[in-house]
Amino acid sequence: MKKYRACASCKHNHTKCVPDCPLAPYFPAHMHQKYRNAHKVFGGSHLTKFVKNLADSPHKRSTAMKHITAEADLRTVEPLGASFGVISKLWRKIAEEEEELRRVRLVLGVYRGVQGNIFDLRELDVNPCNSGYASQLKSEQ
Ligand SMILES: [Zn+2]
């Protein structure tokens, strides 16, 4: 018979983990760091309350626990901003990338404009190298 491994929550709190432990599905034994982060940010009793309050909706409970653990992980890495800090960084990155895209489009527009002028000159059979100024320079030499 396989021995039942205590979940990360029960292991952390030194309690006996029972098969219907409310936190076991979200914090298996190998996820001790994830539990430590969630415990530090929200507190162990609050985690149990969250799970128990959503007992009648497994889908909501699962989603809530994913968000709680993600927020706890982010707060561990970035205590001041957490998810807001990450979102703010992404908004700044998007703004920078949009500015870069605007600059590239501007340069591309200038390049196309220059190319368009050269093609227009070719269509008119006017080559800037053979213009009057160039032939004037040749005659002066
Ligand atoms: Zn447990």
pTM for the complete prediction?
0.61
Asked whether the beta carbons of 9 and 36 are under 8 A apart, the reply is: no
pLDDT value, residue 64: 93
Compute, in angstroms, the gap from residue 41 CA to the centroid of ligand 1: 19
Compute, in angstroms, the gap from residue 21 CA to the centroid of ligand 1: 5
Compute, in angstroms, the gap from residue 3 CA to the centroid of ligand 1: 14
Instruction: Report which residue type is found at 115.
Output: Q
pLDDT (tens place) for every residue of the chain, 141 residues total: 556 789 999 999 999 999 899 999 999 999 999 999 999 999 999 999 999 999 888 899 999 999 999 999 999 988 888 889 889 999 999 999 999 999 999 999 888 887 766 655 555 454 445 444 444 444 554
Concatenated DSSP letters of 31-83? -HHHHHHHHHHH-HHHHHHHHHHTTT-HHHHHHHHHHHHHHHHHHHH-TTTHH
Compute, in angstroms, the gap from residue 6 CA to the centroid of ligand 1: 6
Tokens linked to 57: 């909706």
Tokens 């870069």 belong to which residue? 100
Dihedral, CA of residue 91, residue 94, residue 95 and residue 96, to nearest 10: 120
Going from N- to C-terminal start, the domains of the chain cover 1-77, 84-141
Smallest CA-to-CA distance from 27 within 76, 74, 62 is with: 62
Instruction: Report which residue type is found at 19.
Output: P
Compute, in angstroms, the gap from residue 75 CA to the centroid of ligand 1: 24
Compute, in angstroms, the gap from residue 26 CA to the centroid of ligand 1: 10
